[in-house]
Amino acid sequence: MDRKRVGILIFDDVEVLDYCGPFEVFSSVRLDEARRREESSPFDVVLVAGTMDMIATSGGMKVLPMVPFAECPPLDILVVPGGRGAHREMKNEAVLGFVRRQAEQGGIVASVCTGALVLGEAGLLDGLRATTHWRSLDLMRELFPGVRVETAFQVVDEGKILTSAGISAGIDLALKLVARGFGDAIARATARQMEYPYPEDDARRIQIDVQDRRQP
* pLDDT of the residue at 215: 45
Residues in the chain, total: 216
Q: What pLDDT digit, counting tens, does each position of 37-55 carry?
A: 989 999 999 999 999 999 9
pLDDT confidence of residue 2:
85
Q: Higher pLDDT residue, 215 or 61?
A: 61
Question: What is the reported pLDDT for 210?
Answer: 59
One-letter amino acid at 4 equals K
pTM given for the model: 0.95
Segment (H or E) for 63:
strand 62-63
Model pLDDT for residues 98-143, shown as the tens digit of each residue: 999 999 999 999 999 999 999 999 999 999 999 999 999 999 999 9
Q: Are 91 and 121 in contact (CB under 8 A)?
A: yes
Confidence of residue 97 (pLDDT cuts 50, 70, 90): very high
pLDDT at res. 216: 42
Handedness of CA 99, 56, 92, 154 (dihedral sign): positive
Q: Cα 58 from chain centroid?
A: 16
Question: How many other C-beta atoms can be found within 10 angstroms of the C-beta atom of residue 176?
Answer: 20
Angle at 122 between CA 93 and CA 156, to 5 degrees: 145
Among 32-36, 49-53, 65-69, 92-96, the minimum mean pLDDT is found in: 32-36
Q: What is the pLDDT of residue 212?
A: 52
Domains detected in the chain: 4-204 (3.40.50.880)
Q: Rounded distance, CA 90 to CA 74, Å? A: 21
CA 83 distance to own-chain centroid = 12
Residues with catalytic roles: 113
pLDDT digit string, tens, across residues 149-164 = 999 999 999 999 999 9
Q: How far apart are CA 116 and CA 152, in angstroms?
A: 16
Q: What is the mean pLDDT of residues 74-96?
A: 97
Strand-pair partners of 163: 111, 156
Q: Give the number of other CB atoms < 10 A from CB of residue 146.
A: 10
Tell me the C-alpha distance between 10 and 186, whole Å.
27
Contact 176, 157 (CB under 8 A): yes
Residues 6+ apart with CB under 8 A from 165: 113, 131, 132, 133, 134, 153, 154, 155, 204, 205
Beta bridge pairs of residue 63: 55
| pLDDT (average), residues 177-195 | 97
**Average pLDDT score, the chain:** 95
Contact 90, 118 (CB under 8 A): yes
Confidence of residue 211 (pLDDT cuts 50, 70, 90): low
Strand 77-80 versus strand 129-130 pairing type:
unpaired
